[in-house]
Chains A and B, each alone.
Chain A
Amino acid sequence: MKKEILEIRNLSKSYGRLKALDSLSLTVEKGSVFGILGPNGSGKTTTLGILLDIIKADNGEYFWFGQKPDSALRKRIGALLEQPLFYPYMTAVDNLKIVADIRGVHYGEIDEVLEMVHLSERKLYKYSTFSLGMKQRLAIAAAMLGNPDVLILDEPTNGLDPKGIADIRNLIIEVAQGGVTIVLASHLLDEVEKVCSHVLVLEKGKKRYAGPVDEVLEGALSLEVAAKDMMLLETMLLQMPQVKTIKKQNGFFVLGVHEGLTPELLNKKLSEQGIYLTHLAGRNKSLEKYFLELLSD
C-alpha cells in the first residue's frame, strides 16, 4: 500500500489580484494528523476547497491515494469545509440520508454517526432549528459517514462550547487512532498542538513550514535551571557553546539551547564542574509562541 495519501504539486489560485495560494507543494502520509495553520486569509480554506473540487486551481495538480482526483475518490474523504451546508427545511436524519445516498452508504450508519457527535436526541428536528454548534456537529457527522480513509476538517470547533470543543478534540484523537488520516485546518493553535503529528504553516498563500510537530518544537526547547551559587552557574553556562540565551527569571535561569543539549547532558556537565543543580526543568515553547515568531520575521 502506498504511504502517501495526498500529494500536492505547485497549487496556485488567485482571486483577481490577490494570490490566495502560491505554488504550494505538500505530501501527507497515511495515518498522520496534519494540521494547517495560518492567520485568517492565509489560504487554508482555499487549499482544502481545491482538494475537494469545490474550488478550481489556476495551476498545479494534486493526487489522492496516488490517483488523479475524481468523485469516486471523494467518497473516501469525509469533509467539513468552513461552515455546515444543509437543507434547512429537512431534519438532521433526512439531510444525512442525502449524504449517505451520494456516498453509497447504508442508512444504518446514520444513527451511529449522530450518536458520535451527541445529536441523537435532535435527529428528527429540522436543521433550521439547530444552533451553530449543533450544525457544526451535524457537519462532522456527515463527514464521518461511510468510514472515510481521510477526514478533512476546516475549523471544526467553530461555534462550539468548551465541552463541545473537548468532545471534538477527543473524537479526532479517537478517529486518528483508528488509522484515519486527518487534515485539520485551524487558527486555534492550542487545538493543533494537542492533536497533530504534522503541521503546515501558511502565510499569504505561501508555505512557511511543513513537517512534524515535534521537529517544530525541538528547535524551541528551553531549560530552567537554578543552583545555590547562581553567579558561578552563570559563568559556567556562558562557557557552554550549546547555550544560546540566558534569561534570569523568578530566581532561576531560563536557557535557550541548541538541539542536542538535553537536561541529562547539562546536568552531567555541570556536576563535572562541581555545580549541583537545585532546579532543572525542560520547557517546551508553545506552538503558539513558535508560530508567532515564525510569522513575525
Chain B
Amino acid sequence: MNRLIKIDFRKYFHNRTFWVLSALYVVLVVLVFTGAEAFINKVVTNVGKNSPVAIPGFSLYSFPFVWHNLAFLAGFFKIFLALIVIIFITNEFGYKTIRQNVMSGMSRVEFLFSKVLFVLFISLFVTLILFLTAFLLGLTHTEHITTSLVFSKMYFVPAYFLEVFTFLLTALMFAFVLQKQGLTIGLFALYYYVVEPIIAFRLPDGAARFLPVRITAHLIDVPNSSLMKLFGVNFREYISWLDVGVCLGYSVLFVLITYLFLKNRDL
C-alpha cells in the first residue's frame, strides 16, 4: 500500500495544476468559513430593519454548533474536489500512462486501489481543514468553553468526511468509465445539476432522498439557527444511521462497478 501511495503521490507532486487547484480550494474554503458569519449577520440585520419581530444576531462559530454550521457550508465546495479527481484520473487515460503502469507490472486492481487511496487522501485532507478551522473559530468565538461543549457535536466532522468520500467515488466511477476528460466533466456536471434533480422529481419523496448525490448532500442537514426556529422550521441535528449506511453502500458499489468495468477492458 505504501508503494501505491508513493507511486501515485509522485504523479501529483510534480504537477502544477494539482497544486494550483488544491491551493485555490484551501484559500476559498478558509475565506468562506471565516467570512460567513459576518456575511450572514449583515444580511440578517438588513432584513431585520423592516421586521416587526426582533431578529437575534447569531454566532456561526460557537461550540458546539460550529461543527454543524461549517460542515454544512463545506458541502457546497465538494464539486470542486470532484473536478480534481476527474482531471487526474482521466489524465491517465489521456496520456495512456495507465497502459505503461499496467505493462510495467501494476495490476488493474492495484491501479484502481491507488486512485481510491487518492480519493481517500483528498477526503481526509479537506476534513482536516474543516476540523482545524472549525476548532480555531470555535475557540475564539465561544465564551464559556468546556470539553463536553467542544466535543458534543463533533460527529458532523466524520459525517462530512463520508459525504466527500462517497461523492468523490461517484466522480471516480464516472472518470474510469468515460475516460475522456471533457466528456467526464460535462456528463458529471450534467448528472449533478440536471439528471439527478429530474429523476428525483419523478420519484416519490421518500425514495428521491436516496439518490447518490442527494444522499451525500443530505447527510448533513441545514443547521438550525435561531432565525429558523423563529419560523418554526426545525431541521435534523443528528446524522441518520440509515444515511450513513446508504453512503457506505454506494461507496462500495461504485468501486465495485469500476472494478468490474476495468477488469475486462482493453486499456
Contact = CB atoms under 8 A, between A and B. Distances in A.
B234 interface: no
A103 B104 contact: yes
A248 B107 CA distance: 61
Given A81-B99, A98-B11, A56 B106 contact: no
Contacts of A49: 266
A244 B108 CA distance: 56
Interface stretch (B2-10, B74-82, B218-226): B2-10
Contacts of A265: none
Contacts, number: 79
A103 B105 CA distance: 6
A54 B10 CA distance: 23
Which one of A88, A91, A99, A103 has the greatest number of beta carbons of chain B within 10 Å?
A: A99
A242 B11 CA distance: 65
A87 B95 contact: yes
Contact of A102 (B16, B96, B104, B266): B104
Interface stretch (A68-76, A178-186, A216-224): A68-76
B237 interface: no
Interface in A10-45: none
A89 interface: yes
Contact of A101 (B7, B96, B108, B265): B7
A101 B103 contact: no
A55 interface: yes
A74 B110 CA distance: 14
A87 B107 contact: no
B97 A99 contact: no
Contact of A142 (B11, B96, B100, B107): B100
Interface string A258-274: 00000000000000000
A71 B105 contact: yes
Contacts of B110: 71
* B100, B110, B266 interface centre (most CB from chain A within 10 Å): B100
A53 B101 CA distance: 11
Nearest to A76: B105
A81 B96 CA distance: 11
Interface in A129-161: 142
Contacts of A72: 105
Contact of B264 (A56, A75, A88): A56
Nearest to A53: B102
Interface string A74-97: 110101010101111111001001
B265 A56 contact: yes
A97 B101 CA distance: 12
Contacts of B103: 52-54, 74, 79, 81
Given A85-B95, A87-B95, A142-B100, A71 B106 contact: yes
B267 interface: yes
A53 B108 CA distance: 9
A88 B264 CA distance: 28
Contacts of B107: 70-71
B49 interface: no
A57 to B, nearest CB: 10
A75 to B, nearest CB: 4
B14 A54 contact: no
Given A71-B110, A87-B11, A99 B104 contact: yes
B130 to A, nearest CB: 30
Contact of A85 (B15, B99, B266): B99
Contacts of A81: 99, 103
Contacts of A88: 95
B15, B108, B264, B266: which has the most chain A beta carbons within 10 Å? B266
B252 to A, nearest CB: 23
B266 A56 contact: yes
26 contacts: A49-B266, A52-B102, A52-B103, A54-B102, A55-B267, A56-B264, A71-B107, A72-B105, A75-B105, A79-B104, A85-B100, A87-B15, A87-B95, A89-B16, A90-B10, A91-B14, A94-B10, A97-B10, A99-B100, A99-B104, A101-B3, A101-B10, A102-B104, A103-B105, A104-B3, A142-B100
Given A91-B14, A99-B100, 20 more contacts: A49-B266, A52-B102, A53-B108, A54-B99, A70-B107, A71-B102, A75-B104, A81-B99, A83-B96, A85-B100, A87-B14, A89-B14, A89-B16, A94-B10, A94-B14, A98-B11, A98-B101, A102-B105, A102-B106, A104-B3
